[in-house]
Structure 1
Amino acid sequence: MANRGDDVSFEAIIEDCRVLLKALQSICFGDRATVVVNQQGIILKVEQAKCCQLSIFLEWALFKESPTIKDSFSFSINSKELIMFLSIFAGDNDEPLEEGSEKGTTLKLKYKGMGDPFYLSIGKEDKCITECKLYTFDPQDSLNIELDDADITNKAILDVPYYKEIWADFDSASKELGIEFSTNPECLRFITKSSYERTAIELYPSCKGVTTLECNENQINFYQMSFIKLSQKILNQASKFNLSTNNDGLLSMTFCIQLETERAAFARFFCVANRPDDL
């Protein structure tokens, strides 16, 4: 669907609004979300204390009808209000989202331009059931975080159930999580420490839950455990999990959220490493 006139920034339709709800349920912090609309799809970003950022990417292929976007633009909305609205009208979100299954309610998204509200229309059988109007704000200044493949120093792909088991073994009293990559032998080490002890969990390429482990440089960084814990809600939605770092110790966790048989949304969680004087 092309843009209809100069006053419409974008308009799109999702055939089953549970798809959007499942993706957005991984938003685990922040009241204000920045919405970025570009040629590839929609990105929702939230931040915490200028130290961690979560981005949810919804490609246009997830939509039944989508716009043609020439230039990207952005605005901010209250993410909690958006999720609350979808939770009320999305129907039974526990039913599997499988292609060919009976669809739930459709969702139409519409935004006319700067200063205008963000409209969400819920419908069923071509009839509008209800409409929600979310007030929009100017996009907030956000962390300018980019981590391309060329910037990645070390990387690991882990099975989600395996990482959950590892997380359960972390020292709950630790205020920091250390992530260490070693090259000889290749090893990913998670370190927790408290006033009582320092513990380490070591993963090698041969471990059952390790799909990929690429250690190109020896590197150790520590992160605030309170920030890392924010990623656990995303993990509960994910089917795949990727962890990587760059030279500055920026931590990236990429989660694949399976929505339908062959469709998925992607969440990317960034966390800045502690400075030496924070340790």
Structure 2
Amino acid sequence: MSFGLPGWVTLSVDGAEQTDQSSRNRLRMAKHTLFLLRHGEGTWNKENRFCSWVDQKLSEEGVAEARHCGRLLKEQGYQLDVVFTSLLSRSIHTAWLLTEAMGDEWVPVIKSWRLNERHYGALIGLNRAELAFNHGEERVKLWRRSYDITPPPIDESHPFFFEIYNDRRYHTCDIPVEELPRAESLKQVLDRLLPFWCDVIVPEIQKGQTVLISAHGNSCRALLKHIEGISDDDIFGVTLPTGVPILLELDGDLRPTKPRQLLGDQVQIQEAIKKVEDQGKAKKTGP
């Protein structure tokens, strides 16, 4: 025998609290809406170079992709409450163009270095196809896609070292410039991303806000690994094209209630995924 209390708790005669099954079901089905978005095509994406922390602008195609994303979300009836970006211009510009296309320019945009692209170290600026020609496709694929392999670190002899670390934006971070990464595996990306996810983004989602994260291929892959519980081996095969919004519907524990959805023309999306995967195929591009 038990005495019912208002809500979902019942009190049994021995004082034990029991959770009503139907209420647990409702809790599991409580949904939150989260969008992940790899920024529109950047100028170095177009040139098939490792861009990483070098601050490149969107290409003309990238601008079109960002605007198309905004129109797509608006047509499907979505409204954003808050947007998060990295400190890199291609991520920020994508968010600007998307919210403009949605008529949501007023929506708050919060920026953090913790959403930056993976730091590719000494590989920054190099052409992926030429690197594969010189070092082998498998080596480049491991550098690009693996979970816990770190490329060679950047040092002061690298042509983009001072451009990155003298940039004023990195003096605004929550850690000193000298503690910022010099190269990262995907695991290290997730490690530096999780505090921002847990402390800043999750509370917004739990308020019932519709959140969009305009970030990068690897910061989005790292978040997907965490949210979806993807294994270290299986994350190797997750490829995200530029400018395609990923819809995640989450329960009260922020676990997916259904598989992720890449929104848009599915044939074009598969073509874009193949294009990204082909970037690491060997090709001599120089003289």
Between Structure 1 and Structure 2, the one with more strand by share is 1
TM-score (norm 2): 0.22
TM-score (norm 1): 0.22
